Every structure is written in structure tokens, then in C-alpha cells.
Structure 1
Amino acid sequence: MVLSALVLDGLFSSFPSCLQFLPGHQQLSERVRKRLYYGWDKECSLDNLSSPVADIAVELLQKAAPSPIRRLQKKYVCHVSREACISPCSMMLALVYIERLRHRNPEYLQQISSSDLFLISMMVASKYLYDEGEEEEVFNDEWGAAGKVGVQTVNTLEMNFLSAIKWRVREARRG
């Protein structure tokens, strides 16, 4: 499965509405969660990442960052998404960032592991969408703990990622 198939399937048709401050955010978030099979298991809340979504994330990120070092595993995706409370909108925005990198900066993707790419793209997307102040903020040390890496590593990954996308976290279009 490729990201363009997800785009064609309409998952990104209302993407800007994922931003919390826009009307209809809650309804869109619920629709995206259900669409991505969040919460099909009765024992899981709509905030837990489902097995099919974890599989998609692993497949897409292993293709995007083919380095054999620290290859992304489903167990890691589930752990980080649970610990960091990754939302479906964050997942979609992170995939947009990765797709943009595939076209604009493929060299970066050759240098980073798929596990590190998953962690840092989700962190940057979550920060962009949800960091509104100190109460909602998730700090790099918390992301490091969720991803089982040190805060210095997270800081370096974040700076490299932002440089690779030329600090264009708001720009959602490709090209």
C-alpha cells in the first residue's frame, strides 16, 4: 500500500480540518479514527493504534527509509503510539511529511532508520497540531522515553528532520 492510495481514497480530503482550532475537529477526528480501524477491538479505546494501522505504518516507513539499522517493527509502533498518545491526525500529517521528503529530500531518507523516522515524524506532527501551551505540551524527554532513546538523540533527530523539510511543517501540499 502506498501513501498515494491513501490520498486517493479520500483520507486527506479534509486534512486541514484536523487542526484542533477549526470547527468540526472532533467529528473529523472520530471519523478518521473509525476509518483507520481505531477502536474495533471492544477492549481498546479510540485512542489506541490498531493492528492494521500499525502494519501500514511499518510498511510505509520501511519503504521510505530502507536502512537495515533500527528497522521499524510493529511492536515499536504500537508502544510509541500508546506511550505518546499519537492521534490519527498526527499519523496522517507525519505521513504527509514523509511523502514530501520522498520527493524533495530522498537523501535524508537514506540516512535515517525507519524507527527514528517514525518517532521523529510523529513527534513533529503532534507538536504542530497539538502543542498550544505548557499544559498540552509534550517534551522531548517524554518522546525519548516513549521511543526508548535519549533526549539528546531526540533533539538531534528533530533538528535534522526539520532541516530536511526546510522547517515547512505547515505546508501540507506536495511539490
Structure 2
Amino acid sequence: MFFDSWYDMLRVAVMAMCAYAALITVVRLSGKRTLAKMNAFDLVVTVALGSTLATILLNRDVSLAEGALALVLLVVLQLVNAKASVHSRAFRRLIKAEPTLLLSDGRMLGDAMAGQRVTESEVLQAIRSKGIGAVEDVTAVVLETDGRFSVLSRSQAGSGSSLQDVREPVRAQPGK
């Protein structure tokens, strides 16, 4: 169906303006962290906000008040999650993934890559995208909590202190 009525068009336009204003207000009041894509959980909340906005606009059965409440609840739950993650190490471990070392000192870590479902080609692509031509020139490749790769070249490595929170894979013991 291409067109129902002018009333429906006006309803969507008014709902869009109101819901958009509500979303912007809620996000501004909640702070920058609300839409940060620092991990998979943050991405899910961002997608849920978009889905909720679309539902408010297009579903006649959802009132503006109900939709605004849903937006507020998603943002409040995100804030609670972020605060709990900051204050509780156990909660942080439950909710958030840890960065994973995929390459160390020019050596691919096959078990870690398999555990994270990352291919050698993807690691090589990350290295190339940083303008590094030789795997041997790389100190570390890390799969971050948001799904991006961090590449640390030997010339950038310094003391390596930026890797202190990176989970190193369990290495098999010789003879086991």
C-alpha cells in the first residue's frame, strides 16, 4: 500500500518531532556514556533506542507517553549498568567482555583467535590498515570489547602498560 490517509502522514510527522525531541532530551541529560559503543552491551542499547523510536513513530498502538517512557527506561537502565560496572568488579565481569590478545610479538595466537572466532586474514587486515607491512613489527593485536582491533607496533609499544587489562590466552603446557 502506498498511501493511507493524510491523517496518518500528519500523525507520523508530529510523533517524529515529539519522539525525536524526547530522545534528544533524554540522551543529553544522561550524558555521553549512554551512546558510547565501548562494548557489545552498549551497542545493543543503542540499537534498542533506535528500534523504540521507530516503534513510536510507526505503531499506532504505542502512544507518545508510552514510547517516551520506554526511551527513558532504556537510558536509565544503561546508566545503572554503567554505574554498577564502575563500582563492582564482579558486575563488570558479568556484563562486559574483556579485551583478548590475538597476536603477541609477531606470533598469531591460534587458540585465542579460534575462541573469539577471528581469522588470520582479519588480523592481517587490521595490521595492514595501520600501515604496517610486516607481522614481525607488531607487538600486539587486541580484539577490544567493542569488536574493534587495536594494533600496537614495536615502535609504539613502550613499556606495554596499555596491555595490562588484556586477557592473555591460557598457553598449553609442554607435554600436556
Say whether the fold is shared (TM-score over 0.5).
no
TM-score (norm 2): 0.25
Structure index of larger Rg? 2
Q: 1 or 2, which has the higher strand percentage?
A: 2
